[in-house]
Structure 1
Amino acid sequence: MQIKFSRWLVSLIIVGGLFLGGCTSPEVSSQTSENSSTTTPVSVTQANNPQMNNLPRLEGNATVVMVVNGSPITIEIDGNNAPITGGNFVDLVERGFYNGLTFHRVVKSPEPFVAQGGDPQGTGMGGFVDPETKRPRNVPLEIKLKGQDQPSYGKAVGRQAGYSDPQVLLNHKKGAIAMARSQAPDSASSQFYFALSDIDFLDGDYAVFGYVTEGMDVVEGIKQGDKIESAKVTKGAENLKK
């Protein structure tokens, strides 16, 4: 009982932290009530979202090395299964956007949960503003279910949306890297988080786009306020299509 209560408490704490602000959209509210008894998410077709036409795509994998507290963290970005989310992250890395930004939210108690960063304001409310258009860049919620040929966009299919057993391909196992967002599904921008433990109750509600392959001990040592000293694409840069 204590373990279940602790995990429930942690989920409440962190889900609030992953939100970037904003009100619950009618779409999210209706999904929750409509799907509350669903055991397996229905397959959702890819939305015809004009927003996606101008977003970077990662057509294949890429490797990013992030340096925190003087030590490297190697991250494998999965552009095969998360091309838009992965492309957005790799593009921001190549721009040098993350260099010098802090981890503004780190939750390790009562259980290891996430280390969240990527906000240029350092407040948990900011995101990337394209210097060319002067407009914020947002990426749609991108989830690929097992058995799907392509990811689905713009619709949460996890427990927060009322599904009890989301069969996602990229799950929130320890070492996953995923995008933070507001309650609006298509509101992710630059904020990301590392999963400090297996947190599968976020599967289908937040987009995982890669995994730490080396340096998990460095991730586990991140403290609130620690800075990203640098982030560089070391392999697969040619897979980024703008």
Structure 2
Amino acid sequence: MYKAVVASLMLASPALATGIEITVAGEASGTITVDLLEDVAPAHVERITALTESGAYDGVVFHRVIDGFMAQTGDVEFGKIGGDMRRAGTGSSDQPDLAAEFSDVPFDRGVVGMARAQSPDSANSQFFIMFSEGYFLNGQYTVVGRVTEGLEVLDAIKRGEGRNGAVIGAPDVMQTVTVTE
């Protein structure tokens, strides 16, 4: 009886991914493995997992990359390779924006955070990965994960130019993004 109840509970509530693997192509080449922190930001992890499972992140570019700070990607609306890169970074998914899930997890090197507009409750599909610590972001952006492998791939991603870090020319791309268990 106990096994049947446990099995039915597992079927009733879908398990969140424990992580994602991002295969990067371009100036950087390789895989970045991310441990998703479902206990810290369950709604944001659920969104990333759903977009990953649907293939929405496949072919999305790193459109904003600031040396010494972070690499931003995840614009599933306008950030697909082959699209109009002038609009990359202005889009989102077809799902509603998410309420902030701030935590005390610091923005250390390799931490993955959700990008947002001015409103704290405007994160949707875009995320960024920290090149180095950025503690000024603590408590202002939702932390969703940590890089566990592939920091050397992250470090090789093509940098953008100017204060905003816009990537000029051919940006690096998340060729495929897959859910890990």
Paired with 1:58 and 1:183, the residues of 2 have a C-alpha distance of: 32
Counterpart for residue 18 of structure 2: 62
Offset of residue 63 of structure 1:
1.7
Amino acid at match of 2:58: N
Offset of residue 137 of structure 1:
2.3
Counterpart for residue 201 of structure 1: 136
Are 2:53 and 1:94 aligned? yes
1:114 to 52, 70, 77: 70
Q: Is the 8 A contact 2:40 2:143 kept in 1?
A: no
Paired with 1:101 and 1:118, the residues of 2 have a C-alpha distance of: 6
Offset of residue 61 of structure 1:
5.8
Paired with 1:126 and 1:210, the residues of 2 have a C-alpha distance of: 22
Q: Is the 8 A contact 1:67 1:231 kept in 2?
A: yes
Residue 125 of structure 1 aligns to a residue whose secondary structure is coil
Amino acid at match of 1:230: T
Are 2:176 and 1:230 aligned? yes
Gaps of 5+ in 2: 1-12, 80-87, 159-166
Are 2:92 and 1:127 aligned? yes
Counterpart for residue 171 of structure 1: 106
Give the TM-score normalised by structure 1.
0.57
Offset of residue 58 of structure 1:
8.1
Bigger proportion of residues as helix: 1
Counterpart for residue 191 of structure 1: 126
Q: CA 1:190/1:58 → structure 2, altered by over 3 Å: closer, same or farther?
A: farther
Are 2:115 and 1:180 aligned? yes
Counterpart for residue 37 of structure 1: none
Residue 145 of structure 2 aligns to a residue whose secondary structure is strand
Q: In the TM superposition, what are the counterparts of 1:10-89 in structure 2 within 5 Å?
A: 62-69=18-25, 70-89=29-48
Gaps of 5+ in 1: 1-56, 130-135, 145-167, 236-242
Residue 121 of structure 1 aligns to a residue whose secondary structure is coil
Amino acid at match of 1:191: Q
Q: Is the 8 A contact 2:99 2:123 kept in 1?
A: yes
2:145 to 203, 210, 226: 210
Residue 206 of structure 1 aligns to a residue whose secondary structure is coil
Q: Deviations over 1:52-71 (max 9, x none)?
A: xxxxx986661211100241
The percent of aligned pairs where both chains have the same amino acid is 36
Residue 92 of structure 1 aligns to a residue whose secondary structure is helix
Residue 22 of structure 2 aligns to a residue whose secondary structure is strand
Counterpart for residue 101 of structure 2: 142
Give the TM-score normalised by structure 2.
0.76
Count of aligned pairs? 146
Amino acid at match of 1:86: V
